[in-house]
């Protein structure tokens, strides 16, 4: 009975080519958020169960987290999200931390769910939040960053849309305009959230059920959900002050040329904890057509930790959907042949040449070059072939001939050209060859 070769359900093994793709994404994320002055933090993998239960409710925590009792009897959870952890960290330094605080992290999370398209049990997310800014400029910045994160990788406006809504506006529509009670509001928000996933007939049936068949309310609802711009809303809504933050935000974004940022009356984003503007980046690729990531304004959870509350605007793009976006739009470079070392030394099958190869490699590494040595006793054609496949740019042949002459045979694998190079000129020659390949 041998051990299984497969990774745990919902998790993935990442081989070098996979890691190159991941790092390409992570490095791009970093470049963008650090360009906005965001600073990196990291939190522990484990947090006490209470933090999540307080935020998300017992049920979801018990059913969808990896939790266990530690040896001291504490109920612990592998983090399913970053918000409680960063809230704790900010709360702990509430008095001394200068505001606004701009913080980001790239970390992994686990949720005990059934894996499916774009969803795994272990996943990586970029989290970035701005703490302590109470006006629309915080949303403006976060949405700008969300936009940049996509365009940084070559995405253009037609490839994605950023949908925006305001939780305060939604509540106004539900309660003041439609006259729904709290329970009806909750149900209607859930239903609107699913608008694109269900048929129109099914939507109408369920909406009718929620308002107990009130024809007047249904007519008003229909008018609202057809709106594609704020000005399409009935006068009673669009003339109310509640639309001002959204109107102001959208006009500022459009002034900046972000024309794929649009109002969407049906955008809901979960239920309880958003308090103002909400938004999500939507993939327009025909094979995806779904929300990639979303965020918005929420009262920071810092008050859970006994300090004065803080306004926060944040978002958390996930690696999986992001990568699928890049693939769908042909924005992911091919990393399959990239080498970990640009140069491979191929000694002959003798101890003397192998030893010399090792020494040479050390010298070259001190000069800043990435060098691998093939110490196997295979034939040279085989070793050369493997070096090519591994993506090496240059190979250095080192046999008895080179040992006695003091000159090394360097082959440029891209051009096929080969030269004898004196040892004292080797570093310069290698650097020149490597650069010529890169610019080719």
Alpha helices (H) along 241-392 = 244-255, 319-328, 351-366, 380-389
Rounded least distance, CB 35 to RNA, Å: 26
End-to-end CA distance of the chain: 52
Other CB atoms within 10 Å distance of the CB of residue 354: 19
Q: Report whether 352 contacts 403 (CB < 8 A).
A: yes
Q: 171: part of which helix (H) or strand (E)?
A: helix 167-171
**Closest to 65 measured CA to CA, from 109, 22, 14, 26:** 109
Whole-number Cα distances in Å, 265 to 169, 217, 228, 312: 9, 17, 7, 22
Rounded least distance, CB 135 to RNA, Å: 23
**Residue 135 or 435: which CB sits closer to RNA?**
435
**Residue 12 or 238: which CB sits closer to RNA?**
12
d(CA 131, CA 261): 23
Q: Collapsing DSSP states into helix, strand and coil, what is residue 259? A: coil
Rounded least distance, CB 375 to RNA, Å: 13
Rounded least distance, CB 197 to RNA, Å: 5
**Residue 370 or 388: which CB sits closer to RNA?**
388
Q: Which residues contact 354 (CB under 8 A, 6 or more apart)?
A: 347, 373, 375
Q: Report whether 136 contacts 325 (CB < 8 A).
A: no
**Residue 208 or 412: which CB sits closer to RNA?**
412
Rounded least distance, CB 174 to RNA, Å: 17
Rounded least distance, CB 270 to RNA, Å: 3
**Residue 20 or 190: which CB sits closer to RNA?**
190
Q: Report whether 99 contacts 79 (CB < 8 A).
A: no
**Residue 170 or 233: which CB sits closer to RNA?**
170
**Residue 163 or 220: which CB sits closer to RNA?**
163
Rounded least distance, CB 77 to RNA, Å: 8
Q: Which residues bind RNA (CB under 7 A)?
A: 6, 8-10, 52, 55-56, 60-61, 64-65, 80-81, 83, 111, 113-119, 190, 194, 197, 269-271, 273, 348-349, 378-382, 384-386, 388-389, 395, 397, 399-402, 409, 411, 413-416, 418
């Amino acid at each position: 009975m041998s051990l299984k070769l497969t990774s745990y359900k919902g998790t993935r093994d990442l081989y070098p080519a996979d890691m190159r793709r991941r790092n390409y994404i992570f490095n791009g994320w970093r470049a963008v958020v650090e360009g906005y002055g965001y600073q990196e933090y990291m939190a522990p993998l484990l947090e006490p169960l209470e933090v999540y239960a307080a935020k998300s409710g017992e049920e979801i925590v018990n059913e969808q987290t990896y939790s266990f009792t530690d040896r001291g009897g504490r109920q612990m959870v592998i983090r399913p999200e970053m918000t409680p952890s960063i809230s704790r960290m900010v709360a702990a330094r509430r008095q001394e931390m200068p505001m606004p605080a701009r913080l980001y992290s790239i970390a992994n999370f686990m949720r005990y769910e059934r894996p499916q398209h774009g969803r795994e049990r272990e996943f990586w997310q970029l989290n970035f939040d701005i703490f302590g800014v109470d006006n629309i400029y915080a949303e403006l910045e976060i949405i700008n960053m969300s936009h940049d994160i996509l365009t940084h990788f070559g995405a253009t406006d037609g490839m994605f849309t950023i949908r925006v809504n305001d939780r305060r506006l939604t509540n106004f529509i539900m309660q003041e305009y439609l006259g729904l009670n709290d329970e009806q509001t909750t149900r209607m928000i859930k239903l609107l959230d699913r608008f694109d996933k269900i048929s129109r007939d099914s939507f109408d049936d369920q909406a009718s059920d929620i308002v107990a068949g009130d024809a007047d309310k249904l007519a008003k609802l229909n008018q609202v959900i057809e709106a594609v711009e704020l000005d399409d809303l009935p006068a009673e809504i669009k003339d109310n002050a509640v639309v001002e933050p959204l109107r102001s935000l959208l006009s500022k974004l459009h002034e900046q040329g972000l024309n794929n940022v649009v109002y969407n009356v049906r955008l809901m984003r979960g239920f309880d904890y958003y308090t103002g503007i909400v938004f999500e980046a939507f993939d327009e690729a025909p094979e995806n057509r779904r929300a990639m990531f979303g965020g918005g304004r929420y009262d920071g959870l810092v008050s859970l930790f006994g300090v004065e509350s803080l306004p926060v605007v944040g978002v958390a793009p996930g690696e999986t959907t992001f990568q699928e976006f890049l693939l769908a739009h042909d924005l992911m470079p091919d990393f399959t042949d990239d080498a970990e070392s640009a140069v491979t030394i191929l000694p002959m099958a003798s101890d003397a040449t192998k030893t010399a190869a090792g020494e040479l490699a050390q010298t070259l590494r001190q000069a800043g070059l990435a060098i691998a040595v093939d110490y196997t006793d295979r034939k040279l054609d085989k070793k050369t072939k493997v070096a090519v496949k591994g993506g090496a740019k240059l190979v250095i042949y080192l046999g008895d001939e080179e040992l006695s002459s003091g000159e090394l045979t360097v082959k440029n694998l891209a051009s096929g050209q080969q030269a004898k190079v004196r040892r004292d000129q080797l570093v310069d020659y290698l650097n020149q060859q490597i650069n010529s390949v890169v610019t080719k």
